[in-house]
């Protein structure tokens, strides 16, 4: 079903099944298409564009402790490798974490944990963290869990911490797909596309209450890398 405008909760079980299947079918040498639902050429161009645009924004320092929520196959672990002090990638998909594990090492770790269960006492690397990465995760969380996650990040933030958010957002009105038969993905798909304003209310407000200030809010890709009518990928960045 498609729900326009109204708030409708999605099932996390269906989302987990979706990602387990994507991870199991992924090619270890080119895993981008497992979490970026485009053909390999566009997925690679988007991946390169995000890194080029966002790495300067993240301004990582050697002493940074990073928490990546919904880390998938470890795309950001690879991009930050050698540049930071520690990295913890958290995801609920065992199949995607299996792909990520090849990037693990003494300072790069992965943990199977649902985003809605993240708290200072459930993580294998204890807080505080200097940088939080939330790339393409909020669309899979219901509103209550988006708020809960933002509060958890606020509680685990070191002085001077930063939060990077990249999300596909609704251009006009909130859109929820609940086990919607996607011709493109060839399976049922569930996700919540919120407007920028809704993301700011649910995720931004708790962060700002915890002392963060929003410093960036804009589209990520140039027009030639965009191919959706109802949504676009946007980036937001907060510093404390
Ligand atoms: C679109 S992918 C993005 C992956 C990665 N952040 C990146 O930018 O390449 C979304 C990821 O979120 C994970 N995910 C979805 N819902 C989750 C949840 N409730 N808890 C933890 N991980 C979740 C999926 O398994 C998947 O790896």
Helices (H) and strands (E) in the chain, counts: 8, 10
Does a structural domain hold residue 130?
yes
Does a structural domain hold residue 20?
no
Segments forming the whole domain that contains residue 164: 60-168+197-239
Nearest residue (by CA) to ligand 1, atom 27, is 72
75 CB near ligand 1 (under 6 Å): yes
Query: Phi-psi category of 87—alpha, beta or left, where left has phi over 0 and alpha has psi -120 to 50?
Result: beta
Sequential DSSP letters for 203-239: IIHHHHHTT-EEEEEEE-S-GGG---SSEEEEEEEEE
Question: What is the distance in A from the centroid of ligand 1 to the CA of 179?
Answer: 17
Number of domains the chain is built from: 1
Does a structural domain hold residue 94?
yes
Q: Which residues contact 5 (CB under 8 A, 6 or more apart)?
A: 173, 174
Nearest residue (by CA) to ligand 1, atom 8, is 135
pLDDT confidence of residue 33: 66
Whether 151 and 211 have beta carbons less than 8 Å apart is answered as no
In 70-197 the beta strands, taken as DSSP E runs, fall at 86-91, 108-112, 129-135, 157-170, 175-182, 187-193
Question: What is the distance in A from the centroid of ligand 1 to the CA of 133?
Answer: 11
Burial of 63 (0-12, 13-18, 19+ CB in 10 A): exposed
pLDDT confidence of residue 226: 81
Question: What is the distance in A from the centroid of ligand 1 to the CA of 137?
Answer: 5
42 CB near ligand 1 (under 6 Å): no
Task: Indicate which atom in ligand 1 lies nearest the CA of residue 114.
Answer: 20
Does a structural domain hold residue 111?
yes
Q: pTM for this one?
A: 0.95
**Of 43, 99, 50, 41, residue with least CA distance to 71:** 99
Question: What is the distance in A from the centroid of ligand 1 to the CA of 28?
Answer: 17
Q: Quick one: CA torsion of 193, 195, 197, 200, rounded to 10 degrees?
A: 30
Q: Which of helix, strand or coil describes residue 107?
A: coil
| C-alpha pair distances (Å), 185 with each of 45, 56, 179, 190 | 19, 32, 12, 11
Q: What is the CATH number for 107?
A: 3.40.50.150
pLDDT of the chain, 240 residues: tens digit per residue: 999 999 999 999 999 999 999 899 887 777 776 666 667 788 888 888 999 999 999 999 999 999 999 999 999 999 998 999 999 999 999 999 999 999 999 999 999 999 999 999 999 999 999 999 999 999 999 999 999 999 999 999 999 999 999 999 999 999 999 998 887 778 889 999 999 999 999 999 999 999 999 999 999 988 888 888 889 999 999 999
Task: Indicate which atom in ligand 1 lies nearest the CA of residue 72.
Answer: 27
């Amino acid at each position: 079903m498609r729900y326009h405008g109204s708030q409708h909760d999605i099932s996390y079980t269906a989302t987990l099944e979706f990602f387990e299947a994507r991870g199991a079918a992924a090619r270890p040498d080119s895993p981008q298409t497992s979490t970026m639902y485009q053909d390999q050429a566009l997925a690679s161009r988007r991946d390169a564009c995000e890194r080029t645009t966002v790495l300067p924004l993240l301004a990582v320092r050697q002493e940074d402790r990073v928490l990546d929520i919904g880390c998938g196959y470890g795309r950001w672990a690879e991009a930050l490798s050698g540049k930071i002090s520690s990295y913890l990638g958290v995801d609920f998909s065992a199949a995607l974490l299996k792909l990520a594990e090849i990037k693990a090492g003494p300072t790069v770790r992965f943990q199977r944990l649902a985003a809605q269960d993240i708290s200072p006492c459930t993580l294998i690397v204890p807080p505080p963290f200097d940088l939080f990465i939330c790339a393409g995760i909020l669309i899979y969380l219901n509103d209550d869990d988006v708020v809960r996650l933002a509060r958890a990040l606020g509680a685990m933030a070191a002085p001077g911490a930063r939060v990077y958010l990249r999300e596909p957002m609704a251009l006009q009105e909130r859109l929820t797909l609940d086990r919607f038969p996607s011709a493109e993905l060839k399976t049922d798909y569930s996700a919540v596309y919120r407007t920028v304003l809704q993301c700011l209310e649910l995720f931004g407000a708790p962060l700002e209450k915890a002392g963060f200030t929003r410093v960036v809010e804009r589209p990520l890709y140039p027009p030639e890398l965009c191919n959706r009518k109802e949504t676009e990928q946007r980036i937001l960045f907060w510093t404390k």
